[in-house]
Amino acid sequence: MADRLNSELIQVKADLRRKNKWQKQVKDYETELAEIEGIIKNLTKRLREEEKDVEKLEGFSISSLFQTLKGNKEEQIEKEKQEVVAVQLELQEAQKTKKELDQALTDLQHQLEKIGNVDAKYQQLITEKEQYIKQSNNSTAATLYELVEQEGDVKAYIVELNEAIRAGSYVAEDLESASASLDSAANWGAFDMFGGGAISGIAKHGHIDDATAAIHKAQTSMRRFQKELLDVQEELDVQIDISGMLKFADFFLDGFFVDFMVQNKINEARDQVSYKQDEVERILRGLNKEVEANQEKIVQIGQERQRVIEDY
- Choose among 219, 204, 217: nearest CA to 266: 204
Most confident of 44-48, 85-89, 192-196: 44-48
Burial class (CB in 10 A: 0-12, 13-18, 19+), 239: exposed
Q: What's the pLDDT score for residue 234? A: 53
Residue 295, pLDDT score = 94
Of 68 and 19, the one with more pLDDT: 19
Higher pLDDT, 251 or 94: 94
> Whole-angstrom Cα distance, residue 188 to residue 205?
9
pLDDT for res 78: 64
pLDDT class of 223 with cuts at 50, 70, 90:
confident
| Rounded Cα–Cα distance for residues 216 and 174 (Å) | 9
Are the C-beta atoms of residues 245 and 85 closer than 8 Å to each other?
yes
Residue 205 binned pLDDT confidence (cut-offs 50, 70, 90): low
Lowest-pLDDT choice from 132-146, 154-168, 275-289: 132-146
Q: Can you give the pLDDT at residue 89?
A: 78
When mean pLDDT is compared across 7-11, 44-48, 83-87, 235-239, the lowest value belongs to 235-239
Q: What is the mean pLDDT of residues 287-305?
A: 90
Per-residue pLDDT at 245:
32
246 has a pLDDT exceeding 60: no
Supply the pLDDT for residue 294: 92
Please compute the mean of the pLDDT values over residues 145-172 and round it to a whole number: 88
Q: Taking residues 283-297, report their average pLDDT.
A: 91
Distance CA 231, CA 227 (A): 8
The predicted pLDDT at position 227 comes to 86
Q: Are 147 and 305 in contact (CB under 8 A)?
A: yes
Residue 57 has pLDDT above 80, yes or no: no
Find out whether 13 and 122 touch, Cβ atoms under 8 Å.
yes
Mean pLDDT, all residues of the chain: 76
Residue 50 falls in which region: left (phi positive, over 0), alpha (psi -120 to 50) or beta: alpha
> Between residues 179 and 233, which one has the greater pLDDT?
179
pLDDT for position 91: 86
Question: Above 80 in pLDDT, residue 114?
Answer: yes
Q: Which residue stretches of 1-60 are H helix?
A: 2-58
Is the model more confident about 89 or about 95? 95
Distance CA 151, CA 306 (A): 13
Choice between 1 and 111, residue whose per-residue pLDDT is larger: 111
- Residue bearing the bigger pLDDT, 93 or 22: 22
